[in-house]
């Protein structure tokens, strides 16, 4: 459960950052990279929506690896 909340918080912060960058870009007439953040869990389907996270994955050790820019 904690992992899901952490991922949701990270994705929300990313959305806020992108919105802030868009506001700055609008003022400067710049293009903004709207790259979507996708969460991938090792040992689970290649791309897993958080809403589809099944109970068999909860309470198991998972490793989340990635780069946040």
Domains of the chain, residue spans: 2-52
**What is the arithmetic mean of pLDDT over 47-60?**
60
Count of C-beta atoms within a 10 Å radius of residue 52: 10
d(CA 33, CA 64): 23
Query: pLDDT tens for residues 17-49?
Result: 877 777 776 667 666 566 666 666 566 556 556
Give the predicted TM-score (pTM) of the model: 0.34
């Amino acid at each position: 459960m904690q992992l899901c909340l952490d991922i949701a918080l990270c994705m929300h912060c990313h959305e806020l950052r992108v919105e802030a960058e868009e506001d700055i870009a609008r003022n400067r007439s710049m293009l903004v990279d709207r790259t979507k953040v996708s969460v991938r869990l090792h040992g689970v389907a290649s791309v897993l929506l958080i809403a589809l996270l099944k109970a068999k994955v909860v309470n198991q050790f998972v490793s989340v690896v990635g780069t946040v820019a």
